[in-house]
Every structure is written in C-alpha cells, then in structure tokens.
Amino acid sequence: MKIGKRLRHIDAMVEPGYSHIWDCCCDHGLLGAALLSRLAAPFIHFVDIVPELMNELESRLRRFYPRSAWQVHCIDVAALPLSHHDGRQLVIIAGVGGDLMVQLVRAIHGANPDADIDFLLCPVHHQFTLRQQLIRLGFHLQQERLLEENRRFYELLLVSPRPDDRQHRNKVSAVGEQIWQAHSPEQADTASRYLRKTLAHYQRVQGGRKTDVQHIIAAYRAVTVQPLHSRTVAVCHHSLCGK
C-alpha cells in the first residue's frame, strides 16, 4: 500500500530495536502495514476505536500478511495493554489533535510509569499544548522533525519518559529546537513559513481576546530559523524553552 509523505517521514523515524510497535489511532492501518512490510519490529499492533475499521483491517492483514506477527485491537488508545508485553515498545500516535494526544499520552504514561516506552507523536494542531504536557511529564526528546504535506505543517516528536542514555537527555522545548535548524534551503523555507503561520495564528487568537496567548507569541517570536548548511545554529532565547 502506498503511503503519503507524512506517514513516510514517521516510518523513517522508527529505528530498529523495538520488540513491539503500536500504530495507534491507525484508521486503515497504512502506517502499521508499512512497518510490517519492512519488518520494523518483531510484532506490530494496530489500534483504533472504530469496530468497522478494525474488522476490515483484520481481514486485509489476514489476507496480505498471513505469516507476520500482528494484532488488531479495537480499544481506546488510553487503555493500551502495554504491560502484557516485554521489551522495548514504541507507541506511535498520529493524525489526531494535540489535545486528545495529551490525554492519551498522559493515560498511557500514568498506567506504565516505569515501562521502557518511546512515543512517536505527530499531532494535528495544538503542538504547543502537547509540548507543554511533555515538559510537565518530564519527557526527553530524541528527535523532532518538521514537514509540510498538502500545504499543512506537521511536527514529529520522538520522545521518551526515561533518560536511558546520552541521546535521551535533551529536554523537550516549548516551541521546538531541531525543527528550526534547516539542513537545506528548502527546509529553511518550510521552517520560516511555518513560523510565520504559527505566529499569525496565535496573534489572531490574541486579537479575539478570549484567551491570553501572549506568552506563546513571545516564545515563537524568540525563535530564529537559521540554516545549518551555512554553519549557523538556531537558538531559541525564550525562558520557556529552558535552554
């Protein structure tokens, strides 16, 4: 099955070493199927709350992947049965709003505070809220990416609750850090347009006078997109980022 740019980028951020990968809110299971095809982990789980989708997906997986190790779970992602499995686990949640993602991550982490789990997150909107929650939970950043698909921007965050090794010691930043470091002129252009769009969004919210988002505006105003290919490093000077 062919997958789009966003799911391809998520797939590319999945490194070897996990025993179980959970494609959460999987819808038609495109991402999980891609992971299954390339044997990204010994066991792939597909999770969604809609029974019709999961029945249909299960039939397709039986047909196309009869000998692979997979399981379909028709459950709320907040109730993932992670403790039933051993080894390193990766929980992928993509394509849902940042607010829902916050609830799901909080529930999963709350039920498995000491488990060896990484989270790969790609929210639709509310990235700032999600980052705030990850900071509150004390999560560590492994990697973050920014991408554009169909004129929409997406942040991809690979985070971990536990600082196991040197790679995991970076704090999650309130507005992102690696995403503003462009390795090519194209990335610099994407990051600049994303920054402008995000600022414009929060300025509109502030103008509406219903919610005070001045601190968010200040945080994004402190970001500079600077191309790494010209050997300059992007720095966020805002105190919220803790850098």
Among 40, 49, 115, 228, binds ligand SAM (CB under 6 A): 49
Short-list 70, 5, 4, CA closest to 40: 70
Least separation in angstroms between residue 47's CB and ligand SAM is 6
Report the alpha-carbon angle 22-104-206, nearest 5. Answer: 130
> Is 99 or 189 the residue whose CB approaches ligand SAM more closely?
99
Spatial CA neighbour of 94 closest among 135, 133, 68, 125: 125
CA–CA distance, 36 with 48 (Å, rounded to integer): 17
- Residue with smaller CB distance to ligand SAM, 14 or 26: 26
Question: What dihedral angle (degrees, nearest 10) is formed by the CA atoms of 112, 117, 120, 123?
Answer: 10
Question: For residues 43 and 49, what is the distance between their CA atoms, to the nearest angstrom?
Answer: 20
Q: How far is the CB of 26 from ligand SAM (least distance, A)?
A: 6
Binding to ligand SAM by residue 50, rule CB under 6 A? yes
Does 155 sit near ligand SAM (CB under 6 A)? no
Residue nearest to ligand SAM (CB): 95
Per CB under 6 A, 146 contacts ligand SAM:
no
Using rule CB under 6 A, residue 120 touches ligand SAM: no
In the stretch 86-105, what mask flags binding to ligand SAM with x, by CB under 6 A? --------xxx---------
Task: Tell whether residue 12 is a contact of ligand SAM (CB under 6 A).
Answer: no
- The upper half-sphere exposure of residue 159, i.e. CA atoms within 13 Å in the direction of its Cβ, equals 24
Helix or strand run (H / E) with residue 49: none
Would you call 137 helix, strand, or coil by DSSP? coil
Segment interacting with ligand SAM, rule: CB under 6 A, options 44-52, 169-177, 179-187, 215-223: 44-52
Angle at 235 between CA 232 and CA 240, to 5 degrees: 175
Minimum CB separation of residue 51 from ligand SAM in Å reads 10
34 binds ligand SAM (CB under 6 A): no
User: Could you tell me how many residues of this chain bind ligand SAM (CB under 6 A)?
Assistant: 14
CA distance 48 to 29: 9
**Which residues contact ligand SAM by CB under 6 A?**
25-27, 47-50, 53, 76-78, 94-96
